Amino acid sequence: MTVHRRILTKDRVVYLLVGKKSFTYKGGRSQIAYIGTSKRGAKRIASSAANKAEEVFSKRGSKDMEVYIASCAARPGLPSWKYLERALLAEFVNNYRELPFCNKQGEKFRFNEKLHKLFKQKRIYRLLMRFDA
């Protein structure tokens, strides 16, 4: 795991656990194994990657895993990082018809009116497609 200095400046981020090999979902193939959020920055991400590693590596042919960070502008009084996670999960379910296999919650998330006000759905889609196989 490589940690860059810029991650230490932010506490509240969304992260994606991504395998080098793509995983099969109902709606296609993606390298994304998990989408999560952190209020404690790099410490939480490292422990989550360690906890999810066994589940990711149990998939046939999976030997490597990388962690990618996604963040958005902070808005006063609004936990924008939580909404970013929700938007990513909603768009993932929309495209692949199921959650990333390490995620347990979020099956019913949809890109609703509030998420449309906060994020552009096309931008969220393009972020997820960077890891499409």
Q: Which is nearest to 69 in space by CA: 127, 118, 28, 117?
A: 127
d(CA 83, CA 63): 31
How many C-beta neighbours within 10 Å does residue 69 have? Answer: 17
Alpha helices for 10-79 (secondary structure H): 42-57
3-state DSSP assignment of residue 94: helix
Q: What confidence tens digit (pLDDT) does each residue in 79-130 have?
A: 999 999 999 999 999 999 999 999 999 888 999 999 999 999 999 999 999 9
| Residue 57 near residue 51, CB atoms below 8 Å | no
Give the chain's mean pLDDT. 88
Amino acid at 57: F
pLDDT at position 8: 64
